[in-house]
Amino acid sequence: RSFSQLSSQYQRSSPSFGIAFDIDGVILLGNSPIGGSDKAIKRLYQDSGNLRIPYIFLTNGGGFPESKRASELSKLLGVNILPSQVVQGHSPFKQLVNRFENEFIVAVGKGEPAAVMSAYGFKNVLSMDEYTSYFDNIDPLAQYKKWTITPATNENSTFKEMAPTICSQRVQAAFIVSDPVDWSRDIQVLCDILRTGGLPGREIGHQPHLYFANDDLEYQATFPSERLGMGAFRIALESIFNRIHPNPLAYTSFGKPSPLVFQNAELVLKKLLSSVYSNSHLINHATPGSHNFKTLYMVGDNPSVDIKGARQAGQPWFSILTRTGVFKGKENHAKYPADLVVDTVEEAIDYILRKES
Ligand code: G3P
Ligand code: MG
C-alpha cells in the first residue's frame, strides 16, 4: 500500500509531529498486544489502511531482520507496518558493515542473529550456535543440556570439510545481536574468542571487537516482574573476563538511552514522512528528510532507558511513560520523570491525537 493518501485533517500541511513506540512493555508483553495497542495503533491509519501519522517502533530488542519483525508486528497489530518503521537495538550494526564486510564475525543471541547480520551486508558471519558446533568439547556442559541445536553435525561431510577452516579462522568481532539464550556456553566461548585474539584454544592475543545491541539491565516480558536483559549478560561476561584476563573488557553498547538512537529515530521519521508525502509539494524533494518536527513523542515503559534517553535528546522530544511495563509507580518516576505518565499506550495515543488535532 502507498502512503500517498492522507486524511483531510493532515492533507493541507504535513504533520508537525511524529511518534516512537517502545515495544516490550508498551506494545507487547511477550507476543501479545497490551494496553489496547492493537486498537490504538489503528487510529494512526486512515480507514483505507494508509498511514495517517508518521510513527516508528524504537525497541532495544531484536533477533530478526527488520523485514521479518515488520511482518510479525503487522500480523499482531492488524496494520501494514513497513520494515523502515522498525528500529531495533541492533539496527545501528549496519553502519559497521564497511569495517567488517568480509571479516569473519560471530553473531550471538535468540532468534536469527546471523540472518540479521547477513541482511545488513556482512558476508562472513556465523551464529554462535553454528560456530560452537565446529569445536569438539568447547562446552563441557553441552552433554547435560536437553535442547537440540540445528546446525552442522559430525555426520555431515560438509561439516567435516569446513571444521578445520572455521576453527583456524580468526574471529575479528563478536556482535551480541539479541538476548543470549545459553549464557554458560556463550560466556565460555566469548571469553575464548576475546582472550585469544579470536582463535579459541590458542594463546592469549589482542581482544577482537565486541558490540552489544543494548545495555538493558532488565525489561518487561510476560512474567509479572522484570526479566534480566542484555545489560545483565554484559555484566556477567565483563566480570568473568576481567577476572581471567589482564586487560579489562573493551566493548561498545548501542541502543536507548544513547542520544544517537534518538537522533537516528528523528531521521528515520523524517524519511518516513518524505515517503508519505512523496507526491506533495510540501516536502522539499531536493533534501529529503529536511522537514522539521515540532514534537516527537517517545512512548516507553522504562524510565532509565526510554525516558532518560528522550530527556537527554532534548527538543523536540516529549516523553510519555506507561504503566504497562518496567514502571509500575503511581506518580512520576523520581529520577527520570517523564513529561507525561499514563496507564497504557492507548491513553498515550489518545493524548497525542487530542493535543495535535
Ligand atoms: O530484549 C528486549 C528489551 O531489552 C527491550 O525492548 O522494546 O522495551 O526497548 P524494548
Ligand atoms: Mg520497553
Check if 22 has its Cβ closer than 6 Å to any atom of ligand 1: yes
pLDDT at 313 over 90: yes
Give the pLDDT of residue 286. 45
Give the pLDDT of residue 229. 98
Rounded to whole angstroms, how far apart are CA atoms 195 and 175?
Answer: 16
For ligand 2, the distance from its centroid to the CA atom of residue 164, given in whole angstroms, is 42
Sequence-distant (≥ 6) Cβ neighbours of residue 192 within 8 angstroms: 138, 200, 201
Placement of cell 556482535 in the chain: 175
pLDDT in tens, 138-160: 999 999 999 877 655 556 667 77
Instruction: Please report the atom of ligand 1 found closest to the CA of residue 326.
Output: 8
Rounded to whole angstroms, how far apart are CA atoms 191 and 184?
Answer: 11
Burial class from Cβ neighbours inside 10 Å (0-12, 13-18, 19+) for residue 284 reads exposed
Instruction: Please report the atom of ligand 1 found closest to the CA of residue 302.
Output: 8
Check if 231 has its Cβ closer than 6 Å to any atom of ligand 1: no
**Is the pLDDT higher at 5 or at 303?**
303
**Pairing mode, if any, of strands 86-87 and 125-127?**
unpaired
For ligand 2, the distance from its centroid to the CA atom of residue 306, given in whole angstroms, is 7
Report the residue among 21, 58, 60 best suited for mutation to probe ligand 1: largest number of ligand atoms under 8 A from its CB.
60
Locate all alpha helices (DSSP H) within the chain, ordered by sequence.
Answer: 8-11, 37-42, 66-77, 97-100, 113-119, 128-133, 157-168, 183-195, 230-244, 259-276, 308-313, 345-356
Check if 24 has its Cβ closer than 6 Å to any atom of ligand 1: yes
Check if 60 has its Cβ closer than 6 Å to any atom of ligand 1: yes
Give the pLDDT of residue 110. 98
Check if 37 has its Cβ closer than 6 Å to any atom of ligand 1: no
How would residue 326 be classed by pLDDT, with cut points 50, 70 and 90? very high
Check if 65 has its Cβ closer than 6 Å to any atom of ligand 1: no
Q: Please state, in angstroms and as integers, the Cα–Cα distance from residue 83 to each residue in 75, 290, 313, following that order.
A: 13, 21, 24
By alpha-carbon position, which residue is closest to atom 8 of ligand 1? 24
Least distant ligand from the CA of 324: 2
